[in-house]
Structure 1
Amino acid sequence: MIHIIPKPTDTPTDNSTGMVQEELRRRGVPFVNLDLAAVDPFDLPVFGETIWACGIKQDGVQFELLKALELENHVINSPEAIAICASKVTTTAKILQSGAPSPATCFTNSKAKVQKFVDAHGGKAVYKPVYGFDGNGIYLFHSADEIKEEPPYYVQEYVKNDRDYRIFVIDYEAVGAIKRESPHLTHNIHQGGCGQAVEIPKDMAEAAEGAARAVGIDYCGVDLLPLEDGGYTVLEVNGTPNWHCMTAPIPKLLADYLIRQDKEGRK
């Protein structure tokens, strides 16, 4: 049976978990919800099952509980993949190691090194929280003295753009995409960006699928920026993505994937 850990940020009007559950019900596939907060890591309630973690709270307790469940179960997405995606540093390192495109990046405790990076990249760069989400805390700066946050500092070269793309990838296949536009530096829907479903050209699919493989994740949302000379560069990989504005049948495709993984795990 499929056990589901609901996304804690679900709302009645934006219920990622519920959309997939409805698809499972439509197929007559049994499932139960699993309260992650109630799990005793030393006396696991589930063994040999498929567990879908639609989302977890960003704290060490829930992450450790998910890791404990993985000892005896198949967890989608894996705790390791979720942890990689939660850290911009690790995600970028994985992407670059795989040879996938990503903006030049600096990670350091030193503002002097940050300034050297800024000077080497046109006199401006983008500051991002290492563990940020929903586009929060991201801003353009020209001098390291403008950074008021405590170290360490994660900064990237500024890539000129007026839009970005969120690509939904399942089992290393790009299955849906939206273009996000806003007058701001970040185009995230949570920051007021406007999303519109788009087709997925080959180079976009290759960039997104390559990023998913680099992270080693069952499904994800890959954020891409278009480059002025063609192609795309990878900004980040989201391990618990929503699918705002996508016309692709993501809940159906996710339900299909969970059913397939559950059956394969029982062979």
Structure 2
Amino acid sequence: MNRSARLPRIGVLANADSWYFQDLQRAARGKALLERLEFSSLQSRIGAGESISAETILSENFDAVIVRTMPLGSLEQVVFRMDALAGLERQGVLIINPPKSMELAIDKYLSLSKLSAAGYRVPQTHVCQTWQDAMAAFEEIGPSVVVKPIFGGEGRGIMRVEDADLAHRVFKTLQQMGQIIYLQKFVPHPGYDLRVLVLGERMWGMRRTSADSWRTNLSRGASATLAPIPDDVAQVARQAMQTLELSIAGLDFLPDGEGGWYLLEANAVPGWKGLSAACDVDVAAELMDYVVARINDQRKAPYPSGASGPESC
């Protein structure tokens, strides 16, 4: 069968029990053929050209790869995984999100630094390596700060610190563990934030509300409702996507209590289960349509230099 005539083949890097992979499988019926891939199975052979595989040679068998998970790993593992995805991209495989963009978004410090440099309003943040420097920052930007891991999501590892003695113990422990100390000034808010999911040119907004916690993650019991996206937030969301060169992302905005908004972070592997229900939108179908359209556009274009593309089947 000619490559341009067959259904697109899409690999999805996802956990074995991933609800999102199942949702994408449902949405892909009649549009594309999906196969789940494991990050741990990625491997590369270099010699007569580079061959990147996950049981099968990916550039010869897949038109695109969607990243739906980012498992923990050593620095070497994380770097190699991103390198392997970048290699596939050079060979003409569409990666959603692009590896360099994921590297930016996954690293809270790097992404916030780039967003701040581009002029977006972000919370006052201090990143350091010693407990002494962290205490000095706490005294300056406190008396209430939020301590976060640079890598991570869904509210894991995040804590609010308001007491100097507790801050001293937390910062010392993080240093002893070899962790970077990342603290942000706590921004008082009315118990909700705004998650904006952006996919290509489309976006949807939901208000995440928590009645008994300053954290509004749905995985921690917050509720979600459809929310209009203010014009200024929509403009920042579009520009932030361009700044980080993302195809799909969840952007978190926090009201400042004075009619303005802080941009907290960009999630390059966003969930959509709660948003789909809140906004009555089939995000998986929207994503599949987006990826298939990108694949079709790519099929019409010549392959990058040195890339042969998938063989006909």
TM-score, length-scaled by structure 1 = 0.89
Determine the structure 1 residue equivalent to 2:25.
Answer: 21
CA deviation profile, 1:77-136 (whole Å, cap 9, x unmatched)? 112222222111111111112111110110111333323322333422110011122101
Determine the structure 1 residue equivalent to 2:139.
Answer: 119
CA contact (8 A) 2:42 2:81 kept: no
Determine the structure 2 residue equivalent to 1:4.
Answer: 11
What root-mean-square deviation, in Å, do the aligned CA atoms of Structure 1 and Structure 2 show?
2.1
Determine the structure 2 residue equivalent to 1:55.
Answer: 69
For structure 2, the residue ranges without an aligned partner over 5 or more in a row are: 1-7, 46-50, 301-313
Determine the structure 2 residue equivalent to 1:110.
Answer: 130
Secondary structure of 2:273 counterpart: coil
CA contact (8 A) 1:139 1:185 kept: no
Q: 2:217 aligns with which of 188, 193, 209?
A: 188
Distance in structure 1 (CA, Å) of the matches to 2:139 and 2:41: 50
Q: 2:184 aligns with which of 136, 147, 156?
A: 156
Deviation of residue 4 (structure 1)?
2.1
CA deviation profile, 1:37-69 (whole Å, cap 9, x unmatched)? 434322331327222222242332544432332
Q: 2:34 aligns with which of 10, 32, 35?
A: 32
CA deviation profile, 1:200-235 (whole Å, cap 9, x unmatched)? 221221232232222111101111111111121111
Deviation of residue 16 (structure 1)?
1.6
Determine the structure 2 residue equivalent to 1:175.
Answer: 203
Distance in structure 1 (CA, Å) of the matches to 2:174 and 2:137: 17
CA contact (8 A) 1:106 1:117 kept: yes
Larger Rg: 2
Among all aligned residue pairs of Structure 1 and Structure 2, give the percentage whose two residues are the same amino acid: 22
Distance in structure 2 (CA, Å) of the matches to 1:10 and 1:68: 27
Q: Which amino acid aligns with 2:26?
A: E
Distance in structure 2 (CA, Å) of the matches to 1:87 and 1:29: 33
CA deviation profile, 1:147-182 (whole Å, cap 9, x unmatched)? 2322421111110011112110112x4521211122
Determine the structure 1 residue equivalent to 2:195.
Answer: 166
Secondary structure of 1:234 counterpart: strand
Secondary structure of 1:196 counterpart: strand
Q: 1:69 aligns with which of 67, 88, 95?
A: 88
CA contact (8 A) 2:32 2:292 kept: no
CA contact (8 A) 2:196 2:250 kept: yes
CA deviation profile, 1:173-200 (whole Å, cap 9, x unmatched)? 4521211122222111122222222122
Q: Which amino acid aligns with 2:100?
A: E
Secondary structure of 2:182 counterpart: strand
| Cα separation, partners in 2 of 1:9 and 1:121, compared to 1, 3 Å | farther
CA contact (8 A) 1:81 1:215 kept: yes
Count of aligned pairs between the two proteins = 261
TM-score, length-scaled by structure 2 = 0.76
Q: Which amino acid aligns with 2:115?
A: I
Q: Which amino acid aligns with 1:145?
A: H
Deviation of residue 10 (structure 1)?
4.5
